[in-house]
Amino acid sequence: MSNSRSHFRLASPTATLLAAVILLSQPFAAAAAGVDFNEQIRPILSDKCFFCHGPDPETREADLRLDVRQDAIDYLAIVPGEPDESELIRRIEETDPELKMPPPHSKRSISPEEIALLKQWIAEEAPYQQHWSFNRLEPTDVPTQADSKWPTGEIDQFVLKRMREKGLEPSEPAQKAALLRRVTFDLTGLPPTLEELDAFLADESANAYEKVVDRLLASPAYGERMTAEWLDVARYSDTYGYQVDRDRYVWPWRDWVIRAFNANKPYDEFVTEQVAGDLLPNATDDQILATTFNRLHPQKVEGGSVPEEFRVEYVSDRTQTVATAFLGLTLECARCHTHKYDPLTQTEYYQLSSFFDNIDEAGLYSYFTNAVPTPNLLLASKEQKASMSSLRDRIAQHERELAALEQQTPAGFQHWWDNARPLKPEPVVLKESTSALKAEPELVPGRIAHLDFEEWKNDKNVAVPGVKGQAIKLTGDDAVNLEVGNFRRFQPFSVALWLQTPDMKERAVIYHRSRAWTDAASRGYELLIEDGRLAASLIHFWPGNALSVKTKEPIPTGEWLHVAVTYDGSIEAAGLQIWINGQPAELDIVRDELTKNITGGGGDNIAIGERFRDRGFKNGMVDEFQVFERELTSLEVRQLHDGSSLANLLQQPLESLSTENRQLIEQYYRSNFSDAWQTKQTELQQARQKLCDLVDPIPEIMVMRENTEPHQTYLLQRGVYDAKGDAVESAVPAALHPFPQEAPANRLGLARWLMSRDNPLTARVTVNRYWQMLFGQGIVRTPEDFGSQGAVPSHPQLLDWLALDFMNHGWDLKRLMKQIVMSSTYRQTSRVTADDLAKDPENIWLARYPAHRLPAEMLRDNALAVSGLLVDKIGGEPVKPYELEDSFKPTPRSKGEGLYRRSLYTYWKRTSPAPAMTTFDAAKRDVCQLKRDKTSSPLQAFIMLNGPQYVEAARGLAERTLKEHPEDVTAGIEHMFRLLTAREPSPQERKVLEELHALNTDHFAANPEAATAYLDVGDKDFDKTLTPSQLAAMSVVASTLLNYDECMMQR
């Protein structure tokens, strides 16, 4: 469908609706014996009245609502049977601008025809109906036209009945060749080969066509074709979007979709797995991978953004995508206020969004690292999974052995105590600074850094009196940097310091090893004050991939505290302990899921008091800052705090120690001096390292995973992220069918609700979308809006019958596709007489096949296929054909086969999609989109005539042709014509093309360098065995044909 038509449709989206209502209302009237509320009245009320007198109480004027019959009657707006008594009619007909409805300032007006309809409707007692799409799907009788042999199946019976009501009759069947081309594109997105064409033309059996359809449905290209369309629905993109728009790794999900279509996964499972595969019992990795669907929305990274603002945006996008894709509802407006046209309240919007608001995600992805935003799935191979499992077993074994060792008095303890324990008269004085560590015996071994600030040279942070000598007072904007601290997550380590906070900090960074806060998703480790409490964390990507613990009580202000954080290398929150004044603090575990590295991203060493775009420890004081490359024992932490605990114990006779002290000293011995324990500890650490080294390079992909603690969703006033209203719980809109009683109140329950037999929408929306795929237009021409502002169906009974039939046959998509393409309706010719064109210019009644332009992907894939350049390979990472070098943010093209893959594999960058795709109306993929425009513009001509992909493809086609028909130009032209249109050229067409060929042959023979220059376009070398002038001439003919209507159109 080209320019003008699409213009009329789009410039006037209700054209279809009006055409249905105005042109053709008689049969409706005849059928319904009166005015039909859903067909004729609701659109008027919805468009002209509901904005102020509809479902939204916020904008309701004069307390009048017209969407509920009884309210309108009580108000006397409608007096059934008495149009002239009805206030509604009076006000519409009023001439006084003060009283007239709709008020002139609203810029809405009601036509005389519409007023007549309203009057007639009220005269007929003003019956209301539920909006058609909300009616439960009930069995529909299939009409029969006994006198016609035309119908092949039920579809045709419905179509023929409507057609005849409009005074139309079906067209002839399409020519076999045209039909083969049509169905091959529709089911595989590719043209038929000449072999397939010849075979079909030669096959005179009754089921020749059916055999073709079955062959096409079974071909792997079917899955690719179906996926290309699904990528628009799922707003698929290989990059995150927004400003920075970095690459992301999501294509394994696209390959899942291809596999699902090719395996003919029932559509209910296809949807359920994408919405909630992670919640299925014993979910497989593949089922979890399906849920990437929910994470394909754009994501933000720009500095200074408020993470919550964008997190809320993601939740909304997921909700709206599901509503659009599966319910055909335009939910977006209910985000800020109750829907003005459809029965959806703002509360219901947030109740529905609550299903999608329960994953551990960040509002921003990480600028400084390439971490995959959480939650995600590790895409490990079978072998990797086996290795991981055996390493986990080994680790568990080492842990058990280590625990057993810790139950006994360690070997050698007595000897050590008697001969080797460090006896010192005085508590050890720790003087060395980071730069000059002294190798003197230590009570607390393993120290790798120590800042005592005694010789601090004031910069912005200044020296102040401290616990011992001087401390440092921090500005919060200036860090104190160390040269150590780049620990991996399997390495035990400890940090100890004295600190004093001047006030109750809501948030303050005490120390950290990281490049930044949200800009690095806090990659590394850190000690913060949050809401006055101490919080220690090890982080791959905050919040979903981290260990984090927090003290239950706020810390006191205005006094010195000794704080230590010890970590045992276990990669569990239980191994992370905060100590205050030598005692273990009572902690809450905030996060306990760390599966990837805590290194990388920059900021490799510890910094005190400040972090990039975070809140520093402003006016906080720090003293005696020490770092240890081991987990300190309890006694050691006490010693660091009081300077005496350990030293004093070591002075005592062994016999005099209490049991507790004896255990503490044994623990101290074990950790520092026991060979057996240290050997085992080393083995354990090595095993953990092996696991980490194995896991860290395995890619992850964003998926859905429910929080263990449910996240509370709130109504957001005006949709603003920080204007929280009432708390809401997950629920579905009351106007729709009830949530299944036995279903869980989560996404899986929601999926069950979506795919329920009682759901009036999903099956209708789905069959309509596939109808649109095959006919260019849906039965409902607004596939994304089945609400009261959407178009009414042209064939309501057919839509209902198809939808119910689809459900009753197990949501079998291949069956549905076959059912449609087998119909006589589909198999008609697209040719039209002027008379029929005038009767039904938009082809609503399908008395002919509706010709339409091939989508962007098929135009390009067709050129590649006929040229022989197409690389027939399924799935894998996205590729970069020529046109990406010409996009807004140019990216170098692939080399070799990446230039010749099917278009659904073309790298999709949200802020810079391939211009050749968008010029041909490819969806922008910012949001879920169920329909594309089909325009024609001069810019398309430039791409098809001059773009390197098409120039090279034309040459490929010419090379193929010249090799098959080296001598015979006419045969060559026919060969190309058949490849591109599936038919023989007419004598006139042949003549026109031969003339073009002759002109060019002469021209290129006279200008050999022009021929070579032309043939050199593209990366692939031209066939040097052919005569350049002949090849160039044939290439020009091929290029012309690629631009020919019958090649670009589905006819």
Partner 1 sequence: MNPDLQNQLLHAQTRRHFFRDCGVGVGKIALASMLANGGVPLAQASSSDTPAPPHFSPRAKRVIYLFMAGAPSQLELFDYKPKLKELEGKPIPPSVIAGQRYAFIQPDAAVLGPQFEFAKRGQSGIEISDQLPHLSRVVDELTFVRSCHTDLFNHSPAQLFMNTGNGVPGRPSMGAWLSYGLGNEANDLPTFVVLKSGGSLSGGSGMWSAGFLPSKHQGVPFRGEGDPILHISNPAGIDRNIQRDTLDTLERLNSLQAERTGDPEIDTRISAYEMAFRMQSRAPELMDFSQETAATLQSYGAKPGNGKAAFANNCLLARRLAERGVRFIQVYHSGWDHHSNVAGGIKGQTRQTDQACAALIEDLKQRGLLEDTLVVWGGEFGRTPMVEASAALGRSQGRDHHPQAFTMWFAGGGMKPGLAYGQTDELGFHVVEKPVHVHDVQATILHCLGIDHERLVYKHQGLNFKLTGVEEHHPVTDLLA
Nearer to partner 1, 317 or 666 (CB): 317
Closest CA to 35 of 94, 113, 138: 113
Residues within window 862-891 making contact with partner 1, judged by CB under 8 A: 886, 888-889
**Which region among 522-530, 685-693, 764-772, 904-912 touches partner 1 (by CB under 8 A)?**
904-912
Nearer to partner 1, 784 or 812 (CB): 784
**Residues 6+ positions from 95 with CB-CB distance below 8 Å:** none
User: Out of 156, 842, 861, 974, which residue is the one contacting partner 1 (CB under 8 A)?
Assistant: 842
User: CA 274, 220, 806 angle in degrees (round to 5)?
Assistant: 55
Q: Is 101 in the site for partner 1 (CB under 8 A)?
A: no
Contact 152, 819 (CB under 8 A): no
CB of 282 to partner 1, least distance (A): 38
Contact 594, 688 (CB under 8 A): no
CA distances from residue 682 to 61, 218, 569 in whole angstroms, order as listed = 76, 56, 11
Nearer to partner 1, 186 or 921 (CB): 921
Q: How many residues sit close enough to partner 1 to count as binding (CB under 8 A)?
A: 125
Q: Is 241 in the site for partner 1 (CB under 8 A)?
A: yes
Nearer to partner 1, 387 or 1012 (CB): 1012
Nearer to partner 1, 280 or 336 (CB): 336
DSSP letters spanning 214-251: HHHHHSHHHHHHHHHHHHHHTT--SB--TTT--B---H
Please tell me the number of Cα atoms within 13 Å of 946 on its side-chain side. 5
CB of 904 to partner 1, least distance (A): 19
Residues within window 324-383 making contact with partner 1, judged by CB under 8 A: 324, 330, 332-333, 336, 341-342
Q: Is 243 in the site for partner 1 (CB under 8 A)?
A: yes
Residues within window 203-232 making contact with partner 1, judged by CB under 8 A: none
Contact 9, 16 (CB under 8 A): yes
Residues within window 517-536 making contact with partner 1, judged by CB under 8 A: none
Residues within window 37-66 making contact with partner 1, judged by CB under 8 A: 47
CB of 935 to partner 1, least distance (A): 5
Tokens representing 705 are 């995973």
Q: Is 3 in the site for partner 1 (CB under 8 A)?
A: yes
Q: At 500, which helix (H) or strand (E)?
A: strand 493-500
Q: Is 612 in the site for partner 1 (CB under 8 A)?
A: yes
Q: Is 720 in the site for partner 1 (CB under 8 A)?
A: no
Residues within window 905-924 making contact with partner 1, judged by CB under 8 A: 910-913, 915, 918-919, 921, 924
Q: Is 1050 in the site for partner 1 (CB under 8 A)?
A: no
Q: Is 734 in the site for partner 1 (CB under 8 A)?
A: no
| Distance in angstroms (rounded) separating the CA atoms of residues 207 and 99 | 67
| Distance in angstroms (rounded) separating the CA atoms of residues 30 and 43 | 19
User: Out of 610, 623, 631, 812, which residue is the one contacting partner 1 (CB under 8 A)?
Assistant: 610
Residues within window 580-609 making contact with partner 1, judged by CB under 8 A: none
User: Out of 403, 723, 941, 1006, which residue is the one contacting partner 1 (CB under 8 A)?
Assistant: 941
**Which region among 89-97, 150-158, 197-205, 828-836 touches partner 1 (by CB under 8 A)?**
828-836
Residues within window 694-713 making contact with partner 1, judged by CB under 8 A: none
Single-letter amino acid, residue 916: A
**Residues 6+ positions from 105 with CB-CB distance below 8 Å:** none
CA distances from residue 437 to 26, 76, 125, 298 in whole angstroms, order as listed = 97, 92, 96, 50
User: Out of 30, 574, 727, 837, which residue is the one contacting partner 1 (CB under 8 A)?
Assistant: 837
Nearer to partner 1, 370 or 888 (CB): 888
CA pseudo-torsion sign 741, 746, 750, 751:
negative
Nearer to partner 1, 242 or 801 (CB): 242
User: Out of 22, 403, 437, 1006, which residue is the one contacting partner 1 (CB under 8 A)?
Assistant: 22
CB of 1017 to partner 1, least distance (A): 5
CA distances from residue 971 to 198, 868, 990, 1044 in whole angstroms, order as listed = 16, 18, 10, 19
| Distance in angstroms (rounded) separating the CA atoms of residues 528 and 508 | 6
Residues within window 110-169 making contact with partner 1, judged by CB under 8 A: 113
| Distance in angstroms (rounded) separating the CA atoms of residues 427 and 412 | 25
Provide the CA 929 distance to its chain's centre, in angstroms. 12
Contact 1038, 944 (CB under 8 A): no
Residues within window 634-663 making contact with partner 1, judged by CB under 8 A: none
User: Out of 196, 313, 604, 696, which residue is the one contacting partner 1 (CB under 8 A)?
Assistant: 313
Contact 473, 608 (CB under 8 A): no
Q: Is 1011 in the site for partner 1 (CB under 8 A)?
A: yes
Nearer to partner 1, 243 or 648 (CB): 243
Pairing type for strands 713-716 and 470-473 reads: unpaired
Q: Is 94 in the site for partner 1 (CB under 8 A)?
A: no
Residue with tokens 């230039």: 899
Residues within window 444-463 making contact with partner 1, judged by CB under 8 A: 460
Residues within window 960-999 making contact with partner 1, judged by CB under 8 A: 986, 988-989, 992-993, 995-996, 999
Residues within window 385-444 making contact with partner 1, judged by CB under 8 A: none
DSSP-derived 3-state class of residue 1043: coil
Q: Is 834 in the site for partner 1 (CB under 8 A)?
A: yes
CB of 950 to partner 1, least distance (A): 9
CB of 360 to partner 1, least distance (A): 24
Q: Is 465 in the site for partner 1 (CB under 8 A)?
A: no
Nearer to partner 1, 759 or 940 (CB): 940
Contact 732, 352 (CB under 8 A): yes
Nearer to partner 1, 48 or 705 (CB): 48
| Distance in angstroms (rounded) separating the CA atoms of residues 513 and 487 | 9
Nearer to partner 1, 692 or 1017 (CB): 1017
Residues within window 283-302 making contact with partner 1, judged by CB under 8 A: 298, 302
| Distance in angstroms (rounded) separating the CA atoms of residues 1042 and 955 | 11
**Which region among 78-86, 147-155, 343-351, 1004-1012 touches partner 1 (by CB under 8 A)?**
1004-1012
Single-letter amino acid, residue 327: L
Tokens representing 687 are 């095993």
Nearer to partner 1, 508 or 534 (CB): 508
Nearer to partner 1, 400 or 460 (CB): 460
User: Out of 109, 397, 644, 679, which residue is the one contacting partner 1 (CB under 8 A)?
Assistant: 109
Q: Is 503 in the site for partner 1 (CB under 8 A)?
A: no
**Which region among 77-85, 126-134, 142-150, 1006-1014 touches partner 1 (by CB under 8 A)?**
1006-1014
Single-letter amino acid, residue 146: A
CB of 733 to partner 1, least distance (A): 15
Closest CA to 726 of 746, 739, 712, 745: 712
Q: Is 23 in the site for partner 1 (CB under 8 A)?
A: yes
Single-letter amino acid, residue 1013: A
Nearer to partner 1, 108 or 662 (CB): 108
Exposure string for 527-556, b = 16+ CB within 10 A, e = fewer: bbbbebbbbbbbbbbbbbbbbbbbbeeebe
User: Out of 286, 933, 1019, 1023, which residue is the one contacting partner 1 (CB under 8 A)?
Assistant: 933
Exposure string for 192-231, b = 16+ CB within 10 A, e = fewer: beeebbebbeeeeeeeebeebbebbbebebbbbbbbbbbb
Residues within window 776-805 making contact with partner 1, judged by CB under 8 A: 782, 784-785, 787-790
